[in-house]
Amino acid sequence: MKECVAMLLAGGQGSRLYALTHKLAKPAVPFGGKYRIIDFPLSNCVNSGIDTVGILTQYQPLVLNDYIGNGQPWDLDRLYGGVHVLPPYQKATRSDWYKGTANAIYQNINFIERYNPQYVLILSGDHIYKMDYDKMLDFHKETKADCTIAVLEVPMEETNRFGIMTTDKKGRITKFEEKPKKTESTLASMGVYIFTWDKLKAALEKDEADKNSENDFGKNIIPDMLATKRRLMAYPFEGYWKDVGTIDSLWEANMDLLDPNMPLDVWDPSWKIYSRTAGRPPHYIASGARVENSMITEGCTVEGELESVVLFAGAKVGRDAVVRDSIIMPGAVVEDGAQVNYAIIAEDAVIQKGAVVGARPEHMADVSKWGVAVVAEGVTIGAGAKVPPKAMVEQDVKDGDKA
């Protein structure tokens, strides 16, 4: 038996990441030089002593399945427990896609019960944060909660993007609003829940029987548990947390790694973030290169100039190329003399000689047209071509053309 089993919701398409998630699920999107988004919750699990994790997949699972493999990079290859990828499957009488987050867990009740856990930790695969779930579990036990929701303070103007909790003095949740237009509280749900398993199981079964339900944790399960006077507690989290569901937030979270105050510290040996890596030689900084305030990993070659850049494994930046405030994903190449500003260059894309991608806001006549430019996986931007800011380039751009 396991005291606590984690279920990681990784089936989301991440449609607001557009071209970046055409071929892979959001949790598999590369992040921070050598990671993928899912490395954060997975590493948190293993660092918190949780060794049994079910990963619920549905949308474009190939890359994710391959990446997770037997779970060894996260030390989750266990004789009993370990990591299991759980796609929707055919049952004797019928088969269904996962209809919602709650339904995904409902369809895997059998998986959870194999471990006979007292508690179930529900996580999502699209947040970047470091968190000790064990401390949260202690809190859940101490407060004798049926459900504990991790919360953090957000600015009042952002409350409409989150599930907002109102609590009494002791932290018991009295009200839950999903993306409210107007609210009193600024406690936002991080999408991290611990449930006492028998309570969750009952709620899931009840929810499943309700034909009108959207089978969603935020919209259905939590409001119903509140309505039925279950004990829901808010667990305050202090620290870095970011939903990387949009181009801007994905770009920002990468840039946060470069912040001198290190709000997101991946170098701390006591809380390592694990990942599956290809194992390439150390990176090479040529003479004449200039690198400042950047992150570079194995297999990269830098001959040009980098400032505030996250360079992923095997990326190359040629001579006299200038890259600023950008993230260059695995295997992407910025050729000699090209310029990249405020951009996300996805895997294996090529920015050929002298091409210009993105722009700096201070160089814009109309700042409202400014934004992060994205070049999708495998796309080639021809020599001397131009990609304007905020563009989303999914097809090759010929030499000298404008995207």
Partner 1 sequence: MRSANAMGIIFANMHDENIPELIARRTMASAPFAGRYRMIDFVLSGMSVAGMQNIGVVVRNNYQSLMDHLGNGREWDLSRKRGGLAIFPPGAQGAGNGSQGRIEALGNVIDYLSFNKEELVVMSDCDIACDLDYAALIKEHSASGADVTVVYEKAPIKDSLLEDNITYVLGQDGYVSEIRVNDYKKGMQNLSMSVYIIERELLLNVLKDAIVRGYESFEKDILARNLTILKVRGYEYTGYRARISDMRSYFDENLRLLEHENLKALFPKERQVYTKVRDEAPVRYAIGSQVTNCIVADGCIIEGEVENSVLFRGVRVGKGVKIKNCVIMQGTVIEPGAQMENVVTDKNVKVCEGVSLRGAKGFPVFVGKGQCVE
Residue ranges in contact with partner 1 by CB under 8 A: 32-34, 72-73, 258, 260, 266-267, 272-275, 277-298, 301, 306, 310-311
3-state class of 331 per DSSP?
coil
CB of 334 to partner 1, least distance (A): 17
CB of 38 to partner 1, least distance (A): 15
Cα dihedral 363, 364, 369, 375 sign: negative
Nearest-angstrom CA–CA distance, 118 and 208: 21
Query: How big is the CA angle at 16 (ends 148 and 248), to the nearest 5 degrees?
Result: 90
Q: Kindly state the greatest CA–CA separation across the chain.
A: 67
Of 172 and 290, nearer to partner 1 (C-beta) is 290
3-state class of 241 per DSSP?
strand
CB of 252 to partner 1, least distance (A): 18
Of 193 and 312, nearer to partner 1 (C-beta) is 312
Of 107 and 275, nearer to partner 1 (C-beta) is 275
Of 220 and 308, nearer to partner 1 (C-beta) is 308
From residue 54, alpha-carbon distances to 12, 109, 132, 265, 338 in Å are 15, 11, 18, 26, 44
CB of 258 to partner 1, least distance (A): 8
CB of 4 to partner 1, least distance (A): 24
Residue 262 identity (one-letter amino acid): M
Residue 233 identity (one-letter amino acid): M
Contacts of 289 (CB under 8 A, 6+ apart): 302, 303, 304, 305, 306
Looking at residue 181, what DSSP letter applies?
A: S
Of 145 and 344, nearer to partner 1 (C-beta) is 344
CB of 394 to partner 1, least distance (A): 27
Of 34 and 386, nearer to partner 1 (C-beta) is 34
Of 73 and 100, nearer to partner 1 (C-beta) is 73
Nearest-angstrom CA–CA distance, 247 and 252: 9
Of 146 and 303, nearer to partner 1 (C-beta) is 303
C-alpha distance across the termini of the chain, in Å: 57
Shortest CA distance to 108 belongs to which of 91, 126, 92, 129?
Answer: 91
Of 90 and 287, nearer to partner 1 (C-beta) is 287
Decide if 139 contacts 233 (C-beta within 8 A).
Answer: yes
Nearest-angstrom CA–CA distance, 403 and 393: 7
Of 47 and 220, nearer to partner 1 (C-beta) is 47
From residue 168, alpha-carbon distances to 139, 172, 185 in Å are 16, 5, 11
CB of 19 to partner 1, least distance (A): 24
Shortest CA distance to 189 belongs to which of 163, 167, 166?
Answer: 163
Residue given tokens 């952002």 in the structure block: 158
CB of 126 to partner 1, least distance (A): 21
- Residue ranges of alpha helices (H) inside 56-119 are 62-68, 101-106, 109-113
Shortest CA distance to 10 belongs to which of 116, 92, 83?
Answer: 83
CB of 256 to partner 1, least distance (A): 13
CB of 376 to partner 1, least distance (A): 23
